[in-house]
Chains A and B, each alone.
Chain A
Amino acid sequence: MTSPASVLDLAAIRADFPILDETLNGQPLIYLDSGATAQKPRVVLDAEIDFLTRNNSAVHRGAHTLAAEATELFEDARATVAGFVGAAPDDLVWTSGATAAINLVAYAIGNATAGRGAPASARFALAPEDEIVVTEAEHHANLIPWQELAARTGAVIRAIRVHDDATLDPAHAASVISERTRVVAFTHVSNVSGIVSPVAELVDLARDVGALTVLDACQSAPHLPVDFPALGVDLAAFSGHKLLGPYGIGALYGRSEILEALPPFLTGGSMITDVTIESAEYLVSQAVGLAAAVRYLEGLDMGAVHAREQDLGNRMIAGLREIPGVRVLGDAEGVERVGLASFDVTGVHAHDVGQFLDARGIAVRVGHHCAKPLHRRLGLTASVRASASVFTTDDDITALLEGVSAVRDYFGADE
């Protein structure tokens, strides 16, 4: 049996990422912040430059050849990215990112509630006391838009609890999702624990009561094989910049009957409102870049990427667990996860840990990672997060663990 590392040619992959030649504070860069934003392989940078230097023009308008070429590339990009998540091209809408995609859904539901849609949209309308279910593990991007929608419509937010090990409590999910539930919005992979959510269970519970499911796939799409139709979710959002692609682009997937009925932000297929379609049509070089990114990942094979990164995640957690004074957030056994681990160092603030690692060339995220409710639930205000990518080596993890092992001594945490 071959190990995941041997399936991926790490040396070749690392050569594809120009930024890995950079140094950080005089040290070779060890980039463990892919959960915040991914580094881009050269093919992505080249695709954007090629488009801008050879094909750039306005898409879906104008009769000249260049416009036709640009339109074709734009729509090819949609088909490529849609295919990457198992979707048909018409079921993918470009947005500026996942936050915009989730807001788009929330505002569309709000508009349906206000009666601003075709008759088919009435099914989305919320009544006071209707419930929108989220989880305690959500990123603010999959929480605040729903809180705002609730405030506008009189609906009520309910949250599925997590256990102390940050896994979702399925019994609580079963009791929270009820006949009053109209929307169930949840993350595919927690951006704090790296744990994969039980999507099938939640989708079943939501379906039983006829609730709409909205999946935040920001931390899953870059790291594991994703097939939204197979997962059975109604809608899903992800960002391009976490998916080895450019900033400023993301996508909303929706089952076609949902996209067609959602008013008036979405009027079906890839067509969105006047306002939004204008901005989407400027995302052409970004769409072409994102398509190059997903082709790059498909070339590596997402199954192999997931196996490798899960192995890295398990190594990080196993290593961190052994360091005195370190607490792993989401220290659960036998769960599916990505290559991401958050932790707290007793007696040393996350900012100080991050600064200490930075001096060793190691880039990590510090703070609440836009997931305050989960931090509060785990009794913390901030943590340190290390997240891997396709280019992360075993040595990178060793360097991280060595750094974390030294941090309490440096700050005199035991004194």
Chain B
Amino acid sequence: MNGLESLYQELILDHSKRPHGKELADETGRTATSLQRNPVCGDEITLRVRVSDDGERVLDVTWDGAGCSISQASASMLSALVDELGEEADGDGMPRADVDARIEGFRAALRSRGTVPLDEETFADAAALSGVSKFTARVKCAMLAWVALEDALERA
């Protein structure tokens, strides 16, 4: 695998072309929205999270925005991950603590310069973003949606 293909895995290109959750849901129920920008490249993302009434469970993540394939794929994969794990819990959403732990784990892996891989069991399709951590200029692109979710959850 050459350098470029370790970054742009097929799964990443698929998600960037056919993104998951790329349409902001309405603000029914308990929601919070975060706008994050990457000032260097002008990329931006608006992400909305819906949580259960007690705030303990994350029900869905939707988003909209414009940016490079990495930032778009990462947002798509994050949205899909929340949906997938929510369905596994009988459609009750993901426990908030699990989401927080994944954001932390994702950040740690992305900042590891290729030393900490993302496992598929925990991160589903987003595990394909492991290769980004070797491209330090692109880490911010991959982090954008995850930072938006972290910010939104703090206010949800």
Contacts and interface: CB of A to CB of B under 8 A. Distances in A.
Interface of A: 25, 348-352, 355-356, 359, 366-368, 372, 375, 381-382, 410-412, 415
Contacts of B135: 355
A329 to B, nearest CB: 14
Contact of B41 (A348, A359, A367, A410): A367
B101 interface: no
19 contacts: A348-B69, A349-B43, A349-B67, A351-B70, A352-B70, A355-B4, A355-B8, A356-B4, A359-B2, A359-B3, A359-B4, A368-B41, A381-B41, A381-B42, A381-B66, A382-B42, A382-B43, A410-B8, A412-B17
B13 interface: yes
A412 B3 CA distance: 19
A372 B17 contact: no
Nearest to A26: B3
From A25, A368, A382, name the one whose CB has the most chain B CB atoms within 10 angstroms: A382
A411 B41 CA distance: 19
Given A372-B42, A381-B43, A382-B42, 10 more contacts: A351-B67, A352-B70, A355-B4, A359-B3, A359-B4, A367-B40, A381-B42, A410-B8, A411-B8, A411-B13
Contacts of A359: 2-4
A55 to B, nearest CB: 39
B7 interface: yes
A359 B6 CA distance: 11
What 7 A-B pairs are tightest by C-beta distance, nearest first? A381-B42, A349-B68, A351-B68, A359-B4, A367-B41, A352-B69, A382-B42
Contacts of B43: 349, 351, 381-382
A367 B42 CA distance: 7
Given A25-B3, A351-B141, A412-B17, A375 B42 contact: yes
Contact of B17 (A25, A410, A415): A415
A291 to B, nearest CB: 33
A136 to B, nearest CB: 17
Contacts of A348: 69
A349 B17 contact: no
Contacts of B57: none
B111 interface: no
Contacts of A356: 4
A25 B17 CA distance: 27
Contact of B69 (A367, A372, A411): A411
A376 to B, nearest CB: 9
Number of contact residues on B: which range applies?
Answer: 10 to 19
A352 B68 contact: yes
A31 to B, nearest CB: 17
Interface of B: 2-4, 7-8, 13, 17, 40-43, 66-70, 135, 138, 141
Contacts of B17: 412, 415
From A352, A356, A372, A381, name the one whose CB has the most chain B CB atoms within 10 angstroms: A352
A77 B135 CA distance: 40
Contacts of B67: 349, 351
Nearest to A380: B42
A351 B41 contact: yes
A407 to B, nearest CB: 11
A385 to B, nearest CB: 13
Contacts of B66: 381
A25 B3 CA distance: 8
Contacts of A25: 3
B99 to A, nearest CB: 27
A25 B134 CA distance: 13
B67 to A, nearest CB: 6
A351 B13 contact: no
A415 B8 CA distance: 17
A372 B37 CA distance: 14
A375 B138 CA distance: 22
Contacts of B13: 411-412
Nearest to B141: A351
B4 A350 contact: no
A359 B3 CA distance: 7
A366 B3 CA distance: 19
Given A351-B138, A351-B141, A352-B69, A368 B4 contact: no
A355 to B, nearest CB: 7
Contacts of B69: 348-349, 352, 411
A326 B138 CA distance: 23
A305 B69 CA distance: 38
Contacts of B7: 355
B65 to A, nearest CB: 11
Nearest to B16: A411
A25 B66 CA distance: 28
A294 B65 CA distance: 45
Contacts of B8: 352, 355, 410-411
A208 B117 CA distance: 66
Contacts of B70: 351-352
Contacts of A349: 43, 67-69
A351 B72 CA distance: 12
